[in-house]
Amino acid sequence: MANTLLMPKATAVWLVDNTALSFDQIAQFCSLHPLEVKAIADGESAQGIKGMDPIMTGQLTRAEIAKGEGDINHRLKLSDPKVRVPETKRKGPRYTPLSKRQDRPNAIYWLVKNHPELKDAQISRLVGTTKATIEQIRERKHWNMATLTPLDPVALGLCSQIDLDIEVQRASRGREAAAPVGDTLLPASLTERLTPEQAAPKDEDKELDANAVFAKLSALRSKTPDEDEDDKF
């Protein structure tokens, strides 16, 4: 979280009332216009706003104020926070900038096509869309379906690759593994209990004897036509 001044107008009211800083110094520190600070000093602006002491909130030190009062060109510096507040995790759909919202249907189309295991809530978290839009694209009933092109949401900048991988892993968790295709080896627990006769290869698996094959071919060729006729009867 960036170190920013809390309640700048209320801080300006306090600095006007309690310090000898110039309007320009207060305006620079509180991110206000010098004329607005002058209006506060004249009572024309910020009426009813209670001043907030930046020293009490730890955003400014007395030494820094004294340095600014002694040098009109000195620019006040915001004190570093003593406590770092961790950023909260995002909940709900992701916010999508206006410039990229037109790409969301293409990203949804890509997710539906390439990751059908993702649920509507997961797609909504990734690209910041509604379940109604996801359902329309799943059923190809979206009003602009004819012109949609599947585009990777990571390439479009709608989500990070890490977020996409996490959602895909969550969707795949608990799904049955695909059944093996083709012949597979028997498990070791079965092959260890086979008898020698069971483990021996079948007759059709035995290697052919080349000499026996050539001997049979030679015998067939040596037969005369008359012998062939006798064999028919």
121: closest CA among 102, 97, 93? Answer: 93
Report the pLDDT value the prediction gives residue 4, as an integer from 0 to 100.
75
DSSP 168-226: HHHHHTTPPPPPP-S--PPPHHHHTT--HHHHSPPGGGSPP-HHHHHHHHHHHHH--HH
Query: The tokens of 114 are what?
Result: 């390439």
* Amino acid making up residue 169: Q
Tell me the CA distances in angstroms from 188 to 2, 181, 191, one per residue in order: 61, 19, 5
3-state DSSP helix/strand/coil % of the chain, to nearest 5: 50, 0, 50
| Ranges of each domain in the chain | 8-70, 98-172
Quick: pLDDT tens for 120-144: 999 988 888 888 999 999 999 988 8
Quick: pLDDT tens for 157-193: 888 888 888 888 888 876 655 555 455 555 555 555 5
CB 170 within 8 A of CB 122: yes
Report the pLDDT value the prediction gives residue 18, as an integer from 0 to 100.
94
End-to-end CA separation in angstroms for the chain: 105
Query: The tokens of 159 are what?
Result: 């989500």
Quick: pLDDT tens for 186-229: 555 555 555 555 555 555 545 556 666 667 667 766 655 555 55
Quick: pLDDT tens for 65-123: 999 999 999 999 988 766 554 544 555 555 555 555 678 899 999 999 988 889 999 99
CB 145 within 8 A of CB 131: no
Say what the pTM is.
Answer: 0.38
Report the pLDDT value the prediction gives residue 79, as an integer from 0 to 100.
85
Report the pLDDT value the prediction gives residue 43, as an integer from 0 to 100.
86
Higher pLDDT, 12 or 103: 12
Query: What does the alpha-carbon distance between residue 138 and residue 132 come to, in Å, rounded to a whole number?
Result: 10
Report the pLDDT value the prediction gives residue 83, as an integer from 0 to 100.
53
Based on its alpha-carbon atoms, the radius of gyration of the chain, rounded to whole angstroms, reads 41
Report the pLDDT value the prediction gives residue 184, as an integer from 0 to 100.
53
pLDDT confidence of 51, banded at 50, 70, 90?
A: confident
140: closest CA among 112, 104, 103, 101? Answer: 112
